[in-house]
Structure 1
Amino acid sequence: MDERSKTLLKTLIERYIAEGQPVGSRTLSKYSGLDLSPATIRNVMSDLEEMGFISSPHTSAGRVPTPRGYRLFVDSILTTKAPEGTPARSELAELIQDQLSGQQLAPQRILSSAARTLSNLSHFAGVVMTPRRAQAFRQVEFMRLSAKRILLIIVTPEGDVQNRIIQTELAYTPAQLVEAANFFNSHYAGMSFDAVRDHLRGELQALRLDMSQLMQAAVQAGSDAMAEEDEQVFISGERKLLEVEDLSSSMDKLRRLFDVFEHKTSLLQLLDVSSHAEGVQIFIGGESRLVPLEDMAIITAPYEVDGQIVGTLGVIGPTRMAYDRVIPIVDITARLLSSALSQS
């Protein structure tokens, strides 16, 4: 593609993002800065349409970008200078830093604050996938709630606490629960619950019946609790997407949009994929099978703790979003979240 075609495509996409209306040749002539006749512009537009970068809605003589056009735009044409009316990059960094400050004592609060910051600054939905953790425990405790109901308390190596209620067939005394916790911690502290399960297979014969049943129940409950924690994702501002006509113009789109946030499976899959890449990634609906809606785009970036990538954050919005404004928001938030978590 020559520079003239790139300039016209860039102008068309920028005007469509700004106005939400199909873009005609007169608008391109006005905003492109190129001294071209309307006939020449129409010829270039026809070529871009043949190449699949733009399309012509039936109700208008103007053109709109296709997912392929957006992809070329964000990969090869876009510059991420802060547009008028938004903070410069250094000011944006200070703004995000202020949003994340004061949370040093609670990593979970830092993560939820990052999701809120992404949403507030982008005006779309912000998402943060919590760090992947080895499903290990530092210690466990058992607390008797009733004769056959026990609270399992799990302390992770990071100091987080998980609770799980266990229903048992046998009744346990407080002394028995202390004995079981001491055995667990002295033999298995620092292991994952799956590893404990493997060890227990060879040791159950040596344990009393009451202890072996409690150990098996604790391993299953602990494994379930850690698995749930490992899949957590913070989402903020999803209701803002209801105000985006491109995503809420039909009941089918609304249903699929809410499925994304209710079930989270496809969202977690996408965030997990992007955590294996460096830097900002842009997923555009209609092009990426990971994005469930054709009119949806997701901008992500991985974040680190002590130099190791542990999770992903991002912004979910329409394909018709101001990428030059949102990309720096995602990039800077990932960098500052990495710093905040490494210091917490």
Structure 2
Amino acid sequence: MLEGSLARLGYAQSRLRRHSAEAGEGAVPPLDTPDAAWVLFAGDRVVLRREPATALLTPEMVARAPALAAPLFLGRFDGRPVFAAAIEPASDDLADGESHRSLDLRSLAAEGAVEADELGLLATAKSLLVWHARNGFCANCGTPSQPAAGGFRRDCQACGTHHFPRTDPVVIMLVRRGETCLLGRAPRFKEGMYSCLAGFLEPGETVEDAVRRETREEAGIRVGGVRYLASQPWPFPASLMLGCVAEGLDETITIDPAELADARWFHRAEVARLIAGTHPEGLSVPPPMAIAHLLMRAFVDGAA
């Protein structure tokens, strides 16, 4: 059962043979390569071809786009070089027609609007494009830096510092206690939706200790054993969700109202109804593309 849930995780599958910062500029093909595929982001929205449904655009389509920000070379997808670029959100009318449309990355994954193994490629593109947009200056000396290695690095010509894209690790945990598990509602969640607790790792912290700290801070529950289960890229803008199962040592919940609007213990059978959408209180959980859903299903199926 766990394998089936893993297959539904958004952004976790990719056929991209990614470029590397160690490969050097000589490995980057020219932008006018005839069989190249392109990914375009207009703000947070991806330009999509309707038929066949894909985010991989042809050079002819991209030629209609306005001036592109510095294109990135992501690597190769089924042997084809793949480039990514950002266009102004106002240029979204590029996709306003019968042949193309645009969709934000979260909705794209939830709807299954493209093949699952394109989502990992789009996660790479989104995270890299956002990183370049936010890191135009050298953090060491303040001089403007330049994209290098196809976009997998930025170089400072003044002080020689190399800068590499960052990924922010986040622990997300299903805390269980016997036949129950702990789920919470963040204030930003839609009404009635419960999910697993989560939080960013801090410098010098292990995954296990981050699970224990975040659970204690948010819900007042002490945690014993922690086991890693699965991970998921989360390109909002560049996180890696580290899914864990943890053993709760306390029963009494004391929430941090700045982090949670509510938290409660749910029985295994009740979690099954949450997943099925048949909970008597109308409560819900994140969709199957989210790793929280996988953790909850693993608990229901006895795989946690």
TM-score with structure 1 length normalisation? Answer: 0.24
Relative to total residues, which structure has the larger helix share, 1 or 2?
Answer: 1
Relative to total residues, which structure has the larger strand share, 1 or 2?
Answer: 2
TM-score with structure 2 length normalisation? Answer: 0.26
